[in-house]
Structure 1
Amino acid sequence: MTASPTTLPQWINRRNAIRGFIFAGVAALIAGALLLAYLLLVVAPNLPALDAITDYRPKIPLRIYTADNALIGEFGEEHRDFVAIKDMPEMMKKSLLAIEDKRFYEHNGIDWRRALGAARANLGGGSKQGGSTITMQVARNFFLTRDKFYGRKLNEVMLALKIEAALSKEQILELYMNQIYLGQRSFGFGSAAQTYFGKSLSELDVAEMAMLAGLPQNPARHNPAVNPKRAKQRQRVVLKSMRELDYITEDQYQKALHETLHVRNRGQQFDTHAEYVAELARQAVYAQFKEDAYTKGISVYTTIVKADQDAAYESVRRNVLNYDQRHGYRGPEAFITLPAGEEERDDAIEEALQRRPSSDRLIPAVVLEAGPKAVKVQNPGGEEITITGDGLRLAAPALSDKAKDALRLRPGAVIRITQGAKNAWAISQVPQVAAAFVSVDAVSGGYHAMVGGFDYNLQKFNHVTQAWRQPGSAIKPFVYSAALEKGFSPATLINDVPLDLTGADTGNEAWSPRNDDGKFDGPITMRTALAESKNVVSVRILRSITVPYAHNYLGKFGFDPAKHPKNLTMALGTGSVTPAQMAGAYAVFANGGYTVEPYLIARIVDGDGKILSETKPRATLPDDARVIDPRNAFVTDGMLREVTRTGTGGAVARLGRHDLAGKTGTSSDAVDGWFAGYGGGIVAVSWMGYDDSKSLGGKEFGATAALPIWIDYMKVAMRDRPAQERPAPAGLTQVDGEWLYDEFTGDAARRTLDIDETAPGAENIVPVPPGTAPAPAQ
């Protein structure tokens, strides 16, 4: 039977189609075989070894903690908290899989269905879609670049298959969730939880987890701290997918959709302000471990106590600002021209404020309008704030018509504002004066608090450990302590009258020391002289016991003798000390006569929790640490308590404790203000001064500048510490209400110094009982 002319073309077409299909099939088989051969013979042998993931060692930064586990510092290129998959919240895993790889537990590393769907969408000209599984992303993140070319994609596929053959699904997911970059220098979901929400993963709710799960696709675009609107949009996509997969209920879905999230817009923050402490610890660890310090997950636990550190930080800030405002407004930090257009004006303000260094709660702002009764400003967030009433008090001189141009507030002035009680705004300024505070345990020497300056962001110089300053009268207790060993006692009478010294006396030139208040009280006891901080009496005592003896004696307390003069000015504190040195020195009086070496690091732990080094605090002090006679420490302590009861440190009495002791210090021309003291087993030192060594002011002393810092701190630090009783040690005898060494109760006692025994009324001079000193000069 022959084909009709009308069916022949159809037959030919069918034959050609079959031939084409066979040819295409053969070609596909050949291409597939060639591709398989290429993959097996070329790609597979050149794939990298999987050591990086089978022996995963994530880069964990150096972290610094207080003694009670508050994080105070982190150092390293990558912020990462490794969270084992067994500890990963189930909802966090579901949030991630819902958006990144729904069939993760079903495929072998390649989700062919998703890959083909992505290919069709991309070839069809629609929005670009990714077909990478989590396993493929692990391959890319650990071994490959993000450059888009087909050779890399083939490597990625083969690596994914190799990874799936080597690791379990849970191991792969653990790698991904700890290695992936999530913005703000944060790697892994554990770190991102802290960075964006200040919480651990286990503390996050569904809405927060969904927000984090949306980050891997594009950490910059979906960063909730930088792009909250886009981050919210991405979060909704995640939540929708979670609901479709029945990972969450409808109620959970609706609640998460409408929840207001509180995102940290400044990124990582720490549990307390201890930047100077963290930097000291970092330096110590880097010196020991070099670059490994920043990648091996080392944790450093300091001796700092969080509550004490908080109290010290707030006290320094508050009292430095109080001092600064006592001395008036210095004017705006800068001036800018405000464009007429609103958009251009906002841009100019934003640019100006971004250039200002940040300082906790001292917010930069630009003046929009200024008048004697109200000042309108714009803050970095673009909010307009009107300041009135008491909020203008500091800047009142700058609102006067007579104010000089450099001082006057006007539109375009860049100033600082702060929010106080009842959220009221006030004009403020960044202080120029420096300050420092440090406290240590009197027995162990461990630091409890350290504030090296007003603001670490403004100045990295640590005044506690690096500032060598004149101690002024804060050095006097050590001279008086030396005098006790020479037969003096708190009852010894010394003549407080003008003293004129010749060049022969000083070894240099004539000198006439004077008391700070310009007053002289005649014969007074050594107890009263220390309480009143009498300069002339202190010089007379030093001259009596000799400079070489006292100079050598300072070394017992940890002072560097080379930093102190070998002349009579030593009695007035013309040498150099650091606040840290002063804390260690006063600890000798506080603990009964033992030297302590203040230390900061309690222990260092590696990433596996192994202790690398440890310093255990001492509960008692060894005999070989004793540097002064226990009697000396006891008697000096009694005189230092007098300072806080009736003397220049009398403001301490408001704390209502009888175990407080200390000494004010004001160097020449009020360049330095100090208070060093102790109570309840804590030794604390506060200091204030300018880095360029200018005067604090004619009416400023240690009692006005430094002592308030000390009081505010001790009010908190001693809250749960009982008052310490100090029994008199053996070898002391009480005579007329004062303690004397047994060997000095007879003729060897130094009862008077530089008193004319033939002067009228001298026969009536008797030791003054404690507590009867005249009121101190303020």
Structure 2
Amino acid sequence: MPHLLRTSRLFAWFFLTGLSLAVIVGSGFYLYLRPGLPPVEQIMDIKLQTPLRVYSKDNRLIAEFGEKRRAPITIEQIPTIQLQAFMAAEDSRFYDHYGVDIKGLARAAVELISTGSIQSGGSTITMQVAKNYFLSRDRTFIRKFNEILLAIQIERELDKPQIFELYLNKIYLGNRAYGIAAASQVYYNKPVNELSLAQMAMLAGLPKAPSAYNPLANPQRATQRRDWILGRMKEHGFISPDAYELAIQAPVTATYNATETEVDADYVAEMARAEMVRRFGEDAYTDGYTVTLTVDSEDQQKATDALRDGLEAYDHRHGFRGPVGELDADTLANGDLSAAMLNYPRVESLMPAVITRVDDDKNEARAHVRRFGPAVMPFESMKWASRYKTENYTGSKPAKPSDVVSTGDVVYVRVEEIATVQATPEDGDAEGTPAPALDQPVRVSLMQVPDVEGALISLEAKTGAIKSLAGGYSFGQSKYNRATQAQRQPGSTFKPFLYLTALESGMTPATIYNDAPIVFDDAGAGWRPENSGGRFEGPTSLREALYRSRNLVSVRLLRDLGISRTLDYLEQLKVPVEGMPSDLSLALGSGHLTPMELARGLAVIANGGYDVKPYLIETITDVNGETVYQAPEVVLCDRNCDTEDSQSVPADDPVNAPAVTAEAEPETRIMRRLADERSVYILHSMMRDVIKRGTGRRARALGRDDLAGKTGTTNKQKDTWFAGFNHDIATTAWVGFDQPAPLGRGEYGASTALPIWVDYMKVALEGTPSAFMPRPNGIVNIRINPETGKRARPGEEGRFEIFKEEDAPAALTADDEGHTGSGSGGSDLSRQIF
């Protein structure tokens, strides 16, 4: 008995000694590690890395930027059965422990002792939250102790639902999906509350090893893991035996579903991304900002489509430049054609294809199309493809398929009714799935990627809000945004600014100038400006000179106005003059403006003469839905405009507001008057004639009477334009080569840019009423003699013209009414005719 007592005491002392040592060691670890743990405030202020999302003003997704796909979700939005699936897989005693599961840790320790390596970490969901948010993923004892201590701290500060919510929003589930909501979309393309039991269990199996148990990469192992989780759910009473039996019989239905953008607007998206980075730095990609733009999704999509269609139409007019590559006979017979096509990128809707057979008897060619496989190309789709020779000449019209393509040629095609064919990620995408197997060859049309480029910009004239913008044929092919970056000669689209200068200087639409040859001899270097077509009309009113785009009248007009005076007025209109020449070629648009700068200047005319500052971003909200930026309300102001809440945008950044805090952002943006409203009203009338009877007649196809505009074509047709508007919308289209070169014989603003403008405006104006500038006070209508510009005498043929009161032709005297004669109208004719 004494021996037993002594033995019991010895064991008790050993136990107490061990316990004391454990307490001392544990306390030491705690004192050593505690200072490195994050403070409570950091735990409570956790930020999820959520991507930047850009939306149109009608809430259509334009783009998503950020490394991680994530869509934060609240615990209330997640079905209970989904929570139980994760508990069964990761921590069945989650609601019973205080952050650390002793049983789980003991099991992990036994596995370590018995096998000599770490088999499982014994981590609870709380410990995984600690690791995922604050710690590294190193498998070390120090990190594990940190994890335990931080888990206990988290449990003290947060309740169980909060911890579970953090876990389900942070956990990585493969394929760049972070969080349960993102994974549900990526694998099943539906929200969490619409998943089946089998799908919920499949997602719950991913945290352990997102690659090994990925249903896309390894469906067999993923199914085994899913069924094990379903069994655990049955054991814990989360599901019934019947539900278990049904779920394990369910097939694997996971597919890869990339984030689907709803608007084709890459250039606009890049402008928004760059502005967000300028405002918020790299945090813009991770802090969950949502940007709503001023663009309307339907208008924006039409701008993109109209520009591409117009560039393709030009490209077809100038012929087929031949195949972009060639495959040899051995590759055609024995090679992997899909792999061979990887050398040729997809360009928007155009897919690379190799011609596998040409059959003139059946009037078709056979092809293998990247991602779609076998295809048939009917000859009807090749009839445009006369061989390109120069910008002015093409070969003869093809009569059969072999006149266009040969076996082995690599060409670009457009798959007909492409929307009806299952879309998949690009070949070579590790996250993608194979292209669909099609029962029948797809029908394709022969295409080629245009060499020519272009841009289209549409602004709300009264506010400067960008309605739509297309900066080129393909952002993937070239990220150069021609709408905002391309400095090009505006040609005759510059003339409205010149004619507005004349109207502000006392001239009128009835002022007569001579449209006749003129030569300027400056230091022996002669310059002989010409009209398009080489014709001369003699004495011509400014109204007619504008709508017929008479170059010689514009040169004489600028000479009379003075170059310095004209440049000063351009500065008043805030049209950039840095790229403008200081000679008479200015009258013909030989300066340089970007399409955006020209569109902004035309918007000043469209809105009646008020300043315009284009802007793209309407609102910015943070991850919590709080508005951090709201575009100021635009107020058009005629007088007493100097208010404290007005804001100006730097001249070198006319598209975006400066980076300011929400508190500093003004509530209104004051747009001051830059031009006399009467002069602008008269110019509207003159520019409507460009469409009614002048070079812009193709715009009459829209069937509207409120449209005004101006075509533009530079020397040798290197730049072609159409800029048009009503009182609400101002839109500019440009077409040219990135490296300026002639577009070819017969290519003018009316044939290249105007069809794009019409195609877009058909949608932008649909359902809108006519929008005319209101007639201001101080305007008079007077019947004039069109040949002289003077008032018409009684019984004399004449037409009505509009004038500012002070610039109206003098009233007829009794002597004028009694005999015939001619005069100069608003100026001395002898001085005007050169």
TM-score class, shorter: 0.7 to 0.9
How far, CA to CA, are the matches of 2:151 and 2:101 in structure 1? 11
Aligned-partner SS, 1:186: coil
Does 1:61 find its partner at 2:51? yes
Unmatched 5+ stretches in structure 2: 1-6, 389-396, 421-442, 642-671, 784-799, 812-822
Decide which of 308, 311, 315 is 1:317's aligned counterpart: 308
How far, CA to CA, are the matches of 1:233 and 1:658 in structure 2? 70
Decide which of 274, 285, 297 is 1:294's aligned counterpart: 285
How far, CA to CA, are the matches of 1:520 and 1:139 in structure 2? 83
Shift of 1:198: 5.8
**Residue pair 1:680, 1:718 contacting (<8 A) in 2 also:** no
How far, CA to CA, are the matches of 1:315 and 1:232 in structure 2? 48
Name the aligned partner's letter for residue 56 of structure 1.
I
Shift of 1:287: 2.6
- 1:148-187 correspondence runs (5 A): 148-149=139-140, 152-153=143-144, 156-157=147-148, 159-187=150-178
- 1:476-487 correspondence runs (5 A): 476-487=495-506
- Structure 1 residues 398-450: Cα deviation after superposition (integer angstroms, max 9, x where no partner): 99899999x85432x43322223486322322222211111111111111111
Does 1:707 find its partner at 2:754? yes
Decide which of 817, 820, 825 is 1:751's aligned counterpart: 825
How far, CA to CA, are the matches of 1:337 and 1:229 in structure 2? 40
Does 1:492 find its partner at 2:487? no
Structure 1 range deviating more: 444-453 or 313-322: 313-322
Structure 1 range deviating more: 161-170 or 428-437: 161-170
Shift of 1:229: 7.4
Aligned-partner SS, 1:503: strand
- 1:1-80 correspondence runs (5 A): 38-42=25-29, 45-46=32-33, 48-51=36-39, 52-80=42-70
**Residue pair 1:475, 1:573 contacting (<8 A) in 2 also:** yes
**Residue pair 2:98, 2:155 contacting (<8 A) in 1 also:** yes
Name the aligned partner's letter for residue 603 of structure 2.
A
Decide which of 424, 428, 446 is 2:447's aligned counterpart: 428
Which position in structure 1 is the counterpart of 2:778? 731
**Residue pair 1:206, 1:256 contacting (<8 A) in 2 also:** no
In structure 2, relative to structure 1, the CA distance for the partners of 1:395 and 1:129 (3 Å cut) is: farther
Which position in structure 1 is the counterpart of 2:481? 462
Task: State TM-score, norm by structure 2.
Answer: 0.77
Aligned-partner SS, 2:758: helix
How far, CA to CA, are the matches of 1:439 and 1:573 in structure 2? 21
Does 1:502 find its partner at 2:502? no
Does 1:541 find its partner at 2:537? no
Shift of 1:739: 0.2
In structure 2, relative to structure 1, the CA distance for the partners of 1:95 and 1:308 (3 Å cut) is: farther
How far, CA to CA, are the matches of 1:248 and 1:334 in structure 2? 61
Aligned-partner SS, 1:704: coil
Which position in structure 1 is the counterpart of 2:411? 415
- Structure 1 residues 499-542: Cα deviation after superposition (integer angstroms, max 9, x where no partner): 121215xx773222222223333334332322222222222322
Which position in structure 1 is the counterpart of 2:738? 691
Which position in structure 1 is the counterpart of 2:271? 280
Which position in structure 2 is the counterpart of 1:658? 705
How far, CA to CA, are the matches of 1:564 and 1:41 in structure 2? 76
Shift of 1:475: 0.7
**Residue pair 2:548, 2:695 contacting (<8 A) in 1 also:** yes
Which position in structure 1 is the counterpart of 2:668? none
Aligned-partner SS, 1:78: coil
Which position in structure 2 is the counterpart of 1:443? 462
How far, CA to CA, are the matches of 2:507 and 2:539 in structure 1? 15
How far, CA to CA, are the matches of 1:622 and 1:258 in structure 2? 71
Decide which of 530, 536, 541 is 2:546's aligned counterpart: 530
Shift of 1:157: 4.7
**Residue pair 2:607, 2:773 contacting (<8 A) in 1 also:** no
- Structure 1 residues 431-490: Cα deviation after superposition (integer angstroms, max 9, x where no partner): 222111111111111111111111111111111111100111111111111222334333
In structure 2, relative to structure 1, the CA distance for the partners of 1:381 and 1:241 (3 Å cut) is: farther
Which position in structure 2 is the counterpart of 1:17? none
**Residue pair 2:696, 2:711 contacting (<8 A) in 1 also:** yes
In structure 2, relative to structure 1, the CA distance for the partners of 1:258 and 1:590 (3 Å cut) is: farther
How far, CA to CA, are the matches of 1:602 and 1:563 in structure 2? 31
- Structure 1 residues 234-289: Cα deviation after superposition (integer angstroms, max 9, x where no partner): 66666676677555896898599768958455x33433222222322232332333
Which position in structure 2 is the counterpart of 1:188? 179
Which position in structure 2 is the counterpart of 1:644? 691
Decide which of 623, 632, 641 is 1:616's aligned counterpart: 632
Aligned-partner SS, 2:302: helix
Name the aligned partner's letter for residue 71 of structure 2.
D
Name the aligned partner's letter for residue 571 of structure 1.
A
Corresponding residue pairs, total: 733
Shift of 1:586: 0.8
How far, CA to CA, are the matches of 1:556 and 1:508 in structure 2? 35
Which position in structure 1 is the counterpart of 2:716? 669
In structure 2, relative to structure 1, the CA distance for the partners of 1:421 and 1:83 (3 Å cut) is: closer
- Structure 1 residues 177-227: Cα deviation after superposition (integer angstroms, max 9, x where no partner): 121123343322333445556655456666665554443233334556666
**Residue pair 1:488, 1:750 contacting (<8 A) in 2 also:** no
How far, CA to CA, are the matches of 1:392 and 1:321 in structure 2? 14
Structure 1 range deviating more: 109-118 or 169-178: 109-118
Name the aligned partner's letter for residue 416 of structure 1.
Y
Name the aligned partner's letter for residue 586 of structure 1.
L
**Residue pair 2:358, 2:402 contacting (<8 A) in 1 also:** no
Which position in structure 2 is the counterpart of 1:361? 349
Which position in structure 1 is the counterpart of 2:584? 568
How far, CA to CA, are the matches of 1:238 and 1:390 in structure 2? 58
- Structure 1 residues 288-327: Cα deviation after superposition (integer angstroms, max 9, x where no partner): 3333333333333322222221221222222222222222
How far, CA to CA, are the matches of 1:540 and 1:84 in structure 2? 71
Shift of 1:379: 3.7
Does 1:384 find its partner at 2:458? no
RMSD of Structure 2 on Structure 1 (CA): 4.2
Aligned-partner SS, 1:309: helix
**Residue pair 1:500, 1:510 contacting (<8 A) in 2 also:** no
Structure 1 range deviating more: 727-736 or 191-200: 191-200
How far, CA to CA, are the matches of 2:675 and 2:565 in structure 1? 14
**Residue pair 2:515, 2:536 contacting (<8 A) in 1 also:** yes
Which position in structure 2 is the counterpart of 1:764? none
Name the aligned partner's letter for residue 410 of structure 1.
T
**Residue pair 1:349, 1:366 contacting (<8 A) in 2 also:** no
How far, CA to CA, are the matches of 2:264 and 2:832 in structure 1? 62
In structure 2, relative to structure 1, the CA distance for the partners of 1:157 and 1:183 (3 Å cut) is: same
How far, CA to CA, are the matches of 1:508 and 1:478 in structure 2? 31
Shift of 1:390: 2.8
How far, CA to CA, are the matches of 1:420 and 1:284 in structure 2? 37
Shift of 1:700: 1.4
Seq. identity, %: 36
How far, CA to CA, are the matches of 1:401 and 1:128 in structure 2? 73
How far, CA to CA, are the matches of 2:500 and 2:217 in structure 1? 61
In structure 2, relative to structure 1, the CA distance for the partners of 1:477 and 1:330 (3 Å cut) is: same
**Residue pair 1:473, 1:573 contacting (<8 A) in 2 also:** yes
In structure 2, relative to structure 1, the CA distance for the partners of 1:107 and 1:327 (3 Å cut) is: farther
